[in-house]
Amino acid sequence: MSHKAAIIDRIQSIQLEEAPLPVIPRFKYPEGETISTFVAMAEKAGARVLCTENEAHTYAVINGKVTGQKHYYSAFHDSKPLQDATTEELAELTVAIYKAPLGVAENGAVWIGEDALPQRVGIAIVEQLVIVVKVDNIVYNMHEAYQTIEPQALGYGVFVSGPSKTADIEQSLVVGAHGACGLTVIVEK
């Protein structure tokens, strides 16, 4: 028996008592400040936040984002489905517009699961990313978010907070190095 196999056998032979998962307390947060906190944190992360009054207003804002754009994907328009896109078409994609089922105030992030992402790469390769979240779907913290999304039921999902950015060891900030250069979050009433 190899040393590796012997170590694995010893580890597997250890019988541990099962322990219940810890109870996560309900954290208190300022009442009535969820939306203002979301907007402030999303802007702090580098996103542009637009608030719309209703679905028609949201649609008008989205039309403004794709007007004149030759290569875009939109969950709101009749654009070519991303799942059918070729590598060349994906490389030319400039704007992508998605619907997010959830926003998180404490970090200004929006959640997008695989059901809203016809191509996982679509969220990362575009120049401009637009994400629409309804005001009623914004929770205050990540504890509430994880109670809502059930990540174990999904194969893929991502929290997006601001455009892609990175800084090297010299602290030179680069926006768009690993994803979208710009993020616009539309908060719809």
Indicate whether this model's pTM tops 0.75. Answer: yes
As a whole number of angstroms, the distance between CA 128 and CA 152 comes to: 29
Per-residue pLDDT tens over the stretch 10-33: 999 998 888 998 887 877 888 889
3-state secondary structure of 116: helix
One-letter amino acid of 88 = E
Between the CA of residue 47 and those of 37, 164, 188, what are the distances in Å?
Answer: 13, 10, 16
The burial class, CB within 10 Å (0-12 / 13-18 / 19+), for 154 is exposed
The 10 Å Cβ neighbour count of residue 133 is: 23
Assign a CATH topology to domain 30-188: Rossmann fold (3.40.50)
Q: What is the mean pLDDT of the chain?
A: 88
